Amino acid sequence: MILKFTFEYQSTSLVLENILLRELKSTPLTGKLEKYGDFVSLYVKGGEEELQDFADNLSLNMPYSLFLKDTKVEAVDIMPEEDYILPNYPKRELPFCPKCEKKAFEDYDPFVKCVACGYSFKSSTLKYKNFAKIITKDNERIFKNFAKVLKNGAIAKIKTFNGYKSISLMNQKNFEKIKDDFDLLCVDLGSVGKICSIGKSEILALGSFEKPILELFVNHNFLNIFPFIKNLSKVRVRLSNDLMLDIICKEVRALGSYYIILSDCDEQKQYDIEIDFDSKIFKNKSLEAIVLDDGQSVITKGDLGLVPKVNDGFKDISLKAFSNNFVAINDNAKIITYKRGKELPPKLDTFTLGEGDLSYEAAHGAFYAVLSEHSLLDKTIAGVYFSKINNDRIMINSPKFGLVDYIIFDFDFPKTLSKLLKIMKNENETSSRLVENFITKFPDFYKDELKFSKMGNIYKLWGVIAIMLGMQNDGDVKKGAIKLIKYAASFKGKKGPRIDYKLKKDKNKPKLDNLKAIKTAMSFKLAGIDFPTLSFGVMESFAEFASNILDDISRDYEMDGVCFNGSLFESANLINKFYTITKKNYKVYLHKEFTLDDMNLGYGIINAACKK
């Protein structure tokens, strides 16, 4: 009897393939691996009872993954003639698999080496400092003592495999010292459900192999457990993604505690209580994700387990392109995306523009990255790119005419709100009355110089709106945009007020009428609409506006689909609204294995230049 286990797996990390081969080698059964595109199949031959045991063990030792889209098991008659040979790709730094976790728990040893999931750190001696007391060479004692100290209320420092962290149990004293910019590390999935509103898809994502951070709404029980936390509607929740933290979570849970405050800390800062070791660490950024309304997960930020990323099948042209924290290089017909600051090939040991470097528009790199991942360069596809750091674009790419910028968001603002209000007042009588009423009701609006980047993007517009409405009390447009997005994230309703986003003609090209959007927001502020509701309306209305532009494009071109990315979609409100509207009328393509606005940019532009 032959069973065929098929997995639709959208990752090039080789974790799935290695785990399948490990499980097969642990049995007397015979089998072969097969791979076509995103589909990995393992054929296993044996008796019915043997195959049932194999399937049961595989289900226990195969972690769920954000990149695992579907699975299927079927009986077949024929084994493939050839066995898929895994490529020799550079090693990625990855979280741990269930077998690694089990071994670490048994031995109190976080320095596990695994040929399957790739988790591997050089063995080292833990050093535990508790004021003047030093403990080494007794890991069980170290972890148990550390957990007890946390239970007693200490704030400590720990070296993890992804950087140094400040760690403490969640209580009023510790929370008041941290308050902002922390993750809530839960000791297990059951603890998450007690304090947050969470569905099946979020549970799967949190517990996946990748262990991403999710931002979740808190429930009433959260307020009962932590009555000292006021005005917090959402919290960044995570499980442990390295074995240092995982063993600590196990010991803390054994003492009856379940919630840990975790934040980055300065490597040089001294704490009274610390755990350290000598092995090199990678300082990767944990993945952050959003679970869409249909259950699909989108990785928004981070790099743990994503790099170096290898894609082959390109022209052998020596090129490299930089994108924020990453660099992509075409080397021997392979595009490899590296993180800056890591051990790189000699040709990349300096980061200066030179021969073979590509200069490009970020939106184009992001667009080409999605087109490449889904093999869509021969299709007519609309691309939407909204960013916090780069120029926004709505584009279309077709094999007939190439890539065209349909709309470029390149509006400018005067340096003060006073000048902006003057421009509005002079537009027409209706605008004049609106400005006069607004100034009369809110005479203390911000009047000093605005501070913003030169980038043309919606993020800047939202920052100006936030300052105009009084969400931000200085001229920092970036901080204003952050405030508006946070207010929108706290909104629990279904619908916000409609903000007017309209296009106007400027030199025969469509351009956003940014003043109209600001004036509509001002009118709702005058009507007494609260900040969360109004902020959600600002975001929701823009998603509808962008979707309407796609409808305009589809009337001129026969579109095969839509793809979108950019860091503005790190907002769950925006990405869910835009995705839900767009997928009703178009096939939507999202990144398979890239974040929204970083490592994808250089890869995309080199891909377009080197495509065979």
112 shares its domain with 53 = no
Whether 507 shows a pLDDT value over 70: the answer reads yes
Comparing 210 with 353, which gets the higher pLDDT?
A: 210
Portion of the chain with pLDDT greater than 70, in percent: 97
Average model confidence (pLDDT) across the chain: 91
Q: Inform me whether the pLDDT recorded for 179 exceeds 90.
A: no
pLDDT at 612 over 90: no
| Residue 266 domain flag | yes
Same domain, 63 and 162: no
Residue 119 burial (C-beta neighbours within 10 Å; 0-12, 13-18, 19+): buried
pLDDT at 59 over 80: yes
Indicate the number of domains in the chain: 2
In a domain, 335, yes or no: no
State whether 115 and 208 are in the same domain.
yes
Q: 297, 328, 343: which is the final residue of a domain?
A: 297
Q: Are residues 49 and 142 in the same domain?
A: no
- Looking at the fold, whether 246 and 167 belong to one and the same domain comes out as yes
Q: Is 184 exposed, middle or buried (0-12, 13-18, 19+ CB in 10 A)?
A: buried
Quick check: 353 pLDDT over 60? no
Mean pLDDT of the 265-275 span:
92
Q: Tell whether the model's pLDDT for residue 354 goes beyond 50.
A: no
Residue 356's pLDDT is what? 54
Residue 436 lies in a domain: no
Residue 132 lies in a domain: yes
- pLDDT of 351 higher than 50: no
**What pLDDT was estimated at residue 349?**
43
Say if residue 217's pLDDT is above 60. yes
pLDDT digits (tens, 9 = 90+) for 318-344: 778 888 788 888 877 888 888 876 655
pLDDT for residue 358: 66
Residue 594: closest CA among 301, 344, 371? 301
pLDDT attached to residue 195: 97
Domain CATH number, residue 17 = 3.30.70.100
- 192 & 158 share domain: yes
> How does residue 412 score in pLDDT terms, banded at 50, 70 and 90?
confident
Residues 168 and 237 grouped into a single domain: yes
Domain stop point among 76, 110, 127: 76
pLDDT value of position 443 = 87
Rounded to 5°, the CA angle 560-563-567 comes to 170
Looking at the domain assignment, is residue 609 inside a domain?
A: no
| Predicted confidence (pLDDT) at residue 214 exceeds the cutoff of 60 | yes
The answer on pLDDT for 381 being more than 50 is yes
Where residue 144 sits, what CATH number does that domain have?
A: 3.90.870
- Per residue in 510-550, pLDDT tens? 889 999 999 999 999 999 999 999 999 999 999 999 999 99
Shared domain for 214 and 71, answered yes or no, is: no
Distances, alpha carbon 428 to alpha carbons 179, 364, 424, 433, 434, in Å: 46, 38, 8, 9, 10
Is residue 178 a part of any domain in this protein? yes
In this structure, the answer to whether residues 28 and 108 fall within a common structural domain is no
498 falls within a domain: no
Least confident of 84-93, 478-487, 590-599: 84-93
Regarding whether 10 and 153 lie in a shared domain, the answer is no
pLDDT interval class at 444 (50, 70, 90): confident
Q: Which amino acid is at 573?
A: N
Assess whether 205 and 259 both reside in one domain: yes
The arithmetic mean of pLDDT across residues 149-157, rounded, is 96
In-domain check, residue 562:
no
DSSP state string for 290-346: EE-TTS-EEEEE--TTT-SEEEE-B----EEEEETTEEEEEETTEEEEEETTS---G
Residue range 248-275: mean pLDDT, rounded = 95
pTM higher than 0.85 for the full model? Answer: yes
74-83 as b/e, with b when 16 or more CB fall inside 10 Å? eeeeeeeeee
Same domain, residue pair 127 and 252: yes
Question: Is pLDDT above 60 for 283?
Answer: yes
Q: Which domain holds residue 272?
A: 98-297
For the chain, what is the largest distance between any 2 Cα atoms, rounded to a whole number of angstroms? 85
Tell whether the model's pLDDT for residue 348 goes beyond 70: no
Digit-coded pLDDT (tens) for 289-311: 999 999 999 999 999 999 888 88
Q: What is the mean pLDDT of residues 49-77?
A: 95
What distances in angstroms separate CA 474 from CA 38, 76, 420, one per listed residue?
49, 68, 15
Mean pLDDT of 177-202: 93
